Homo-oligomer: A and B are copies of this chain.
Amino acid sequence: MAKDTAGPLRLLRETHEERVLAVLRTQGAMTRAQLAEQTGLSRATLSSIVQHLLAGQALTETGAEEGASRGRGRPVTVLTLNPGGGLAVGMDLQHRAVQVTVANVAHEIVASTGIACSERTPWARRIELASELVESLAAANSLSLKALAGVGVGVVGPVPETGGHPATPEDSPTRAQGKQSKTHSRAARSRLVHDGLAERFDVPVYVDNNTRLAALGEAIWGAAAGLQNVLYLRLSYGVGSGLVLGGHLFSGAGGAAGELGHVSVDPEWPPCPCGGRGCLERYVSLGAVLEECGFRQFDEVLRRLEDGDEAVRSVIARAGERIGTVLAAACNTVNPEMVVIGGELAAAGDVLLDPVRDTVRKHTHSQVRRGLEITPATLGHDDAARGGIALVLRRSALLAGYPAAPADPASGARFHDLG
């Protein structure tokens, strides 16, 4: 099988490509020589990557720059990201809001905006709202949607397959009684979102769960930027997670990977609509925590924490311990480099995270906790929309694959974790 022959090398090269883009993104235009110095890549590797990025219109090459060190033979030219290389739109259709972000092929966020909506806002209307936001962003920033490569959109709930091929109700029955209709509505919703946006923009549309897309966003632009193995946990009205493994988003066999909100904290505790008992979500969701603290808004909880309210602090700490227990098991399973914690609850900071860290440290194998970092998310409301952008940039034909390369087990080794 060729998997591990070319696959690992391909991943390695793509990581190098990301490094090149990152340097240009953060430090601006530079010569090949400067780029080689900054990325630490060999001239040979760099030149094949630059050639590829130029072909993919992610970079542009311009004439010599003042004071640019002169290379042997060929005239010195300067490489810059090509903002006109194409556009990718990311959307996040949340329970209470619609978020839209636009980026260019160089991964530069061009514009971002959001609008609140009610939980009862029909999905067709949310799609319309998102589309209008895209068009107004384009107009305001004089972007041509002719350059649109695709739309990546996050929706609530499991999405069995990314790429706008949501499971039909027949595909996804669920054993939990009374959930059939919910599964049905979810599948119908994903289809509606995909078809509606594909029809409106006439580009490929990729639909995925928005927590999963937030994980991808954090692994590219956020707290885990550049890391290959990341577990993202979102603590909001629902508790869910997304996994980036070996640099790629992982959905699991049925699109339900990362259902940490439904890991049982105590089998003796009450049943959960998911069919389980004592699920984490019932004890640490935003709603559960607010109820336990006796407040309506989490801001109030945060204020009490600042005032040193011991009762509130102990509620948050207990939540942290329960979260830590579940995270420890998940970390022993996938051995991530970093756990990123997002969602409203993360605003409690170390009052929440320290108990999480202590519990995870206590209950993970030494090899698993070694070097494991548990840190708050750094992206804002557009985390999932950014993940949607990543889907488009990775899937679209804007950047074609590398030509086949010879096997290189040594350099491939690091990537064996994903074959």
30 A–B contact pairs at CB < 8 A? A1-B14, A2-B399, A7-B401, A162-B413, A163-B409, A163-B416, A165-B410, A165-B413, A172-B370, A175-B361, A176-B366, A229-B253, A245-B250, A245-B418, A246-B248, A246-B419, A248-B419, A253-B335, A253-B371, A253-B417, A254-B368, A259-B364, A260-B333, A262-B365, A264-B325, A267-B362, A329-B329, A397-B406, A402-B404, A403-B404
**Least Cβ–Cβ distance between A63 and chain B, in angstroms:** 28
Out of B4, B243, B391, which one reaches A4, CB within 8 Å? B391
Known contacts A6-B10, A249-B416, A416-B163; is-contact A254 B370 (Cβ 8 Å): yes
Q: Interface with B: A31-39, A274-282, A297-305, A375-383, which one?
A: A274-282
Out of B263, B274, B367, B395, which one reaches A172, CB within 8 Å? B367
The proximity string for A residues 3-17 relative to B, scoring 1 for CB distances below 8 Å and 0 otherwise, is 111110011001001
**Least Cβ–Cβ distance between A211 and chain B, in angstroms:** 13
Taking a contact as CB atoms under 8 Å apart, the answer to whether B336 and A252 are in contact is: yes
Q: How many A residues, CB 8 Å from partner? A: 104
How many of these chains are in the complex?
Answer: 2
Distance between Cα atoms of A99 and B173 in the complex (Å): 44
The chain A residues found within 8 Å of chain B, CB to CB, are 1-7, 10-11, 14, 17-18, 52, 56, 158, 161-165, 172-176, 179, 204, 206, 208, 228-229, 243, 245-260, 262-264, 267, 274-277, 325-326, 328-330, 332-337, 361-372, 390-391, 393-397, 399-407, 409-410, 412-414, 416-419
Taking a contact as CB atoms under 8 Å apart, the answer to whether A262 and B332 are in contact is: yes
Out of B165, B208, B337, B366, which one reaches A179, CB within 8 Å? B366
Taking a contact as CB atoms under 8 Å apart, the answer to whether B173 and A3 are in contact is: no
